Amino acid sequence: MKDDPDSGKNQGKGLSRIQQRNRKLILDAALEVFASEGYRGATLDQIAAQAGLSKPNILYYFSGKEEIHVTLLNRLMETWLDPLRQVDPQGEPLEELLAYIHRKVRMSKQFPRESRLFANEVLQGAPRMKPHLKSGLKPLFDDTCALIQGWMDAGKLAACDPQHLIFSIWATTQHYADFDAQVKVLTGGKSAINGGEDYLDTLFRKLLTP
Protein backbone atom coordinates (compact mmCIF):
# COMPACT_ATOMS: atom_id res chain seq x y z
CA MET A 1 0.00 0.00 0.00
CA LYS A 2 1.29 3.46 -0.86
CA ASP A 3 2.05 6.04 1.83
CA ASP A 4 -0.53 8.74 2.41
CA PRO A 5 0.59 11.70 0.28
CA ASP A 6 -1.03 14.09 2.78
CA SER A 7 0.97 12.71 5.69
CA GLY A 8 3.16 15.82 5.83
CA LYS A 9 0.14 17.97 6.47
CA ASN A 10 -1.16 16.10 9.49
CA GLN A 11 2.09 16.55 11.43
CA GLY A 12 2.78 12.82 11.54
CA LYS A 13 -0.53 11.68 13.11
CA GLY A 14 -1.60 8.16 12.16
CA LEU A 15 1.63 7.37 10.34
CA SER A 16 3.22 3.94 10.35
CA ARG A 17 6.58 3.43 12.03
CA ILE A 18 8.36 3.53 8.66
CA GLN A 19 6.53 6.72 7.68
CA GLN A 20 7.43 8.34 11.00
CA ARG A 21 11.06 7.34 10.52
CA ASN A 22 11.17 8.75 6.99
CA ARG A 23 9.47 11.96 8.07
CA LYS A 24 12.05 12.39 10.84
CA LEU A 25 14.88 11.69 8.38
CA ILE A 26 13.55 14.37 6.06
CA LEU A 27 13.15 16.99 8.80
CA ASP A 28 16.58 16.26 10.30
CA ALA A 29 18.17 16.48 6.85
CA ALA A 30 16.28 19.67 6.03
CA LEU A 31 17.39 21.27 9.28
CA GLU A 32 21.02 20.60 8.36
CA VAL A 33 20.58 21.96 4.82
CA PHE A 34 18.56 25.04 5.78
CA ALA A 35 20.94 25.89 8.63
CA SER A 36 23.96 25.82 6.30
CA GLU A 37 22.45 27.07 3.03
CA GLY A 38 19.55 29.25 4.13
CA TYR A 39 16.06 28.92 2.68
CA ARG A 40 16.93 30.39 -0.71
CA GLY A 41 20.07 28.33 -1.16
CA ALA A 42 18.53 25.04 -0.06
CA THR A 43 17.06 22.63 -2.61
CA LEU A 44 14.95 19.50 -2.40
CA ASP A 45 17.78 17.60 -4.09
CA GLN A 46 20.14 18.60 -1.26
CA ILE A 47 17.58 17.58 1.37
CA ALA A 48 17.00 14.24 -0.37
CA ALA A 49 20.74 13.54 -0.56
CA GLN A 50 21.22 14.45 3.10
CA ALA A 51 18.29 12.21 4.10
CA GLY A 52 19.37 9.32 1.89
CA LEU A 53 15.97 9.29 0.20
CA SER A 54 14.80 10.01 -3.32
CA LYS A 55 13.29 13.37 -4.24
CA PRO A 56 9.93 11.75 -5.11
CA ASN A 57 9.96 10.17 -1.64
CA ILE A 58 10.45 13.62 -0.10
CA LEU A 59 7.49 14.91 -2.10
CA TYR A 60 5.39 11.99 -0.85
CA TYR A 61 5.56 13.45 2.66
CA PHE A 62 5.71 17.18 1.95
CA SER A 63 4.33 19.32 -0.86
CA GLY A 64 7.66 21.09 -1.30
CA LYS A 65 10.54 22.97 0.27
CA GLU A 66 8.33 25.62 1.83
CA GLU A 67 6.17 23.12 3.73
CA ILE A 68 9.26 21.43 5.14
CA HIS A 69 10.66 24.79 6.19
CA VAL A 70 7.40 25.93 7.81
CA THR A 71 7.13 22.62 9.70
CA LEU A 72 10.62 23.13 11.13
CA LEU A 73 9.86 26.76 12.04
CA ASN A 74 6.63 25.80 13.80
CA ARG A 75 8.50 23.28 15.93
CA LEU A 76 11.30 25.72 16.57
CA MET A 77 9.02 28.51 17.76
CA GLU A 78 7.70 26.45 20.65
CA THR A 79 11.23 25.44 21.66
CA TRP A 80 12.41 29.05 21.40
CA LEU A 81 9.64 30.43 23.62
CA ASP A 82 10.03 27.90 26.43
CA PRO A 83 13.04 29.52 28.20
CA LEU A 84 11.23 32.88 28.39
CA ARG A 85 8.03 31.24 29.61
CA GLN A 86 10.01 29.74 32.50
CA VAL A 87 10.79 33.15 34.03
CA ASP A 88 8.88 33.05 37.33
CA PRO A 89 7.16 36.33 38.34
CA GLN A 90 7.28 35.14 41.97
CA GLY A 91 10.98 34.32 41.89
CA GLU A 92 13.98 36.42 42.89
CA PRO A 93 14.32 38.86 39.94
CA LEU A 94 18.08 38.79 39.42
CA GLU A 95 18.33 35.02 39.69
CA GLU A 96 15.34 34.54 37.39
CA LEU A 97 16.96 36.61 34.64
CA LEU A 98 20.36 34.97 35.10
CA ALA A 99 18.71 31.55 34.92
CA TYR A 100 17.05 32.64 31.67
CA ILE A 101 20.43 33.70 30.28
CA HIS A 102 21.92 30.32 31.18
CA ARG A 103 19.03 28.53 29.49
CA LYS A 104 19.57 30.57 26.34
CA VAL A 105 23.31 29.79 26.25
CA ARG A 106 22.62 26.09 26.71
CA MET A 107 20.08 26.22 23.89
CA SER A 108 22.77 27.63 21.61
CA LYS A 109 24.99 24.72 22.61
CA GLN A 110 22.28 22.09 22.22
CA PHE A 111 20.46 23.49 19.17
CA PRO A 112 22.97 25.41 17.02
CA ARG A 113 21.32 24.44 13.73
CA GLU A 114 17.91 25.54 14.98
CA SER A 115 19.37 28.87 16.06
CA ARG A 116 20.85 29.44 12.61
CA LEU A 117 17.57 28.41 10.98
CA PHE A 118 15.76 31.04 13.04
CA ALA A 119 18.39 33.69 12.31
CA ASN A 120 18.28 33.02 8.55
CA GLU A 121 14.50 33.33 8.54
CA VAL A 122 14.56 36.66 10.41
CA LEU A 123 17.34 38.04 8.19
CA GLN A 124 15.07 37.42 5.20
CA GLY A 125 12.28 39.43 6.84
CA ALA A 126 10.60 36.45 8.54
CA PRO A 127 8.18 35.82 5.61
CA ARG A 128 7.16 32.39 6.93
CA MET A 129 7.45 33.09 10.66
CA LYS A 130 6.00 36.59 11.02
CA PRO A 131 2.53 35.36 12.09
CA HIS A 132 4.15 33.35 14.89
CA LEU A 133 6.26 36.32 15.96
CA LYS A 134 3.12 38.43 16.25
CA SER A 135 0.85 35.87 17.89
CA GLY A 136 3.34 33.91 19.99
CA LEU A 137 6.45 35.94 20.75
CA LYS A 138 5.06 39.49 20.90
CA PRO A 139 2.58 38.97 23.79
CA LEU A 140 5.17 37.00 25.77
CA PHE A 141 7.82 39.64 25.07
CA ASP A 142 5.50 42.46 26.18
CA ASP A 143 4.50 40.62 29.37
CA THR A 144 8.13 39.90 30.23
CA CYS A 145 9.15 43.52 29.63
CA ALA A 146 6.32 44.66 31.93
CA LEU A 147 7.44 42.17 34.57
CA ILE A 148 11.07 43.35 34.38
CA GLN A 149 9.98 47.00 34.51
CA GLY A 150 7.95 46.23 37.63
CA TRP A 151 11.00 44.65 39.25
CA MET A 152 13.07 47.70 38.35
CA ASP A 153 10.43 50.11 39.66
CA ALA A 154 10.44 48.17 42.95
CA GLY A 155 14.23 48.56 43.21
CA LYS A 156 14.87 44.83 42.78
CA LEU A 157 16.92 45.35 39.61
CA ALA A 158 19.10 48.18 38.36
CA ALA A 159 17.20 50.40 35.96
CA CYS A 160 17.59 49.94 32.21
CA ASP A 161 15.33 49.52 29.19
CA PRO A 162 13.68 46.05 29.46
CA GLN A 163 13.26 45.71 25.70
CA HIS A 164 16.91 46.39 24.96
CA LEU A 165 17.92 44.17 27.87
CA ILE A 166 16.12 41.22 26.27
CA PHE A 167 17.55 42.08 22.84
CA SER A 168 21.05 42.10 24.29
CA ILE A 169 20.48 38.74 25.99
CA TRP A 170 19.36 37.25 22.69
CA ALA A 171 22.27 38.80 20.79
CA THR A 172 24.97 37.62 23.19
CA THR A 173 23.66 34.13 23.88
CA GLN A 174 22.74 33.19 20.31
CA HIS A 175 26.04 34.56 18.95
CA TYR A 176 27.77 31.31 19.91
CA ALA A 177 25.49 29.32 17.60
CA ASP A 178 24.85 31.80 14.79
CA PHE A 179 28.53 32.79 14.42
CA ASP A 180 30.01 29.42 15.39
CA ALA A 181 32.43 29.35 12.43
CA GLN A 182 33.82 32.77 13.34
CA VAL A 183 34.06 31.91 17.04
CA LYS A 184 36.04 28.75 16.27
CA VAL A 185 38.49 30.63 14.03
CA LEU A 186 39.07 33.32 16.66
CA THR A 187 39.48 30.81 19.50
CA GLY A 188 41.76 28.44 17.60
CA GLY A 189 39.06 25.88 16.97
CA LYS A 190 37.95 25.65 20.57
CA SER A 191 34.36 25.87 21.74
CA ALA A 192 34.02 29.11 23.69
CA ILE A 193 30.47 28.55 24.86
CA ASN A 194 31.29 27.34 28.39
CA GLY A 195 33.53 30.32 29.08
CA GLY A 196 30.93 32.49 27.44
CA GLU A 197 28.27 31.32 29.84
CA ASP A 198 30.40 32.33 32.84
CA TYR A 199 31.26 35.66 31.23
CA LEU A 200 27.62 36.52 30.49
CA ASP A 201 26.60 35.63 34.04
CA THR A 202 29.17 38.12 35.36
CA LEU A 203 28.26 40.75 32.76
CA PHE A 204 24.52 40.73 33.37
CA ARG A 205 24.87 40.27 37.12
CA LYS A 206 26.89 43.49 37.31
CA LEU A 207 24.46 45.28 35.00
CA LEU A 208 21.32 44.29 36.88
CA THR A 209 22.40 44.28 40.52
CA PRO A 210 20.75 47.31 42.21
Q: Hey, where are the domains in the chain? A: 7-63, 72-208
3-state DSSP helix/strand/coil % of the chain, to nearest 5: 75, 0, 25
Whole-model pTM: value is 0.79
pLDDT digits (tens, 9 = 90+) for 108-158: 888 888 888 888 888 888 888 888 888 889 999 999 999 999 999 999 999
**Which region, left, alpha or beta, applies to residue 129 given φ > 0 means left and ψ of -120 to 50 means alpha?**
alpha
Which residue from 106, 105, 100, 104 is spatially nearest to 147, judged by alpha carbons? 100
For residue 12, pLDDT over 80 is answered with no
Query: Looking at the predicted structure, is the pLDDT value of residue 9 above 80?
Result: no
End-to-end CA distance of the chain: 67
pLDDT value for 13: 55
Mean pLDDT to the nearest integer, 67-82: 88
The per-residue pLDDT for 120 is: 85
* pLDDT given at position 136: 86
* CB-count exposure of residue 137 (10 Å: 0-12, 13-18, 19+): middle
Number of alpha helices (DSSP H) and beta strands (DSSP E) in the chain: 11, 0
- Helix, strand, or coil (residue 31): helix
The secondary structure of residue 3, as a DSSP letter, is: P
CB contact at 8 A, 77 and 122: no
Whole-number pLDDT of residue 162: 98
Topology of domain 72-208, CATH: Tetracycline Repressor; domain 2 (1.10.357)
Is 80 a residue whose pLDDT tops 80?
yes
- What fold, for 7-63? Arc Repressor Mutant, subunit A (1.10.10)
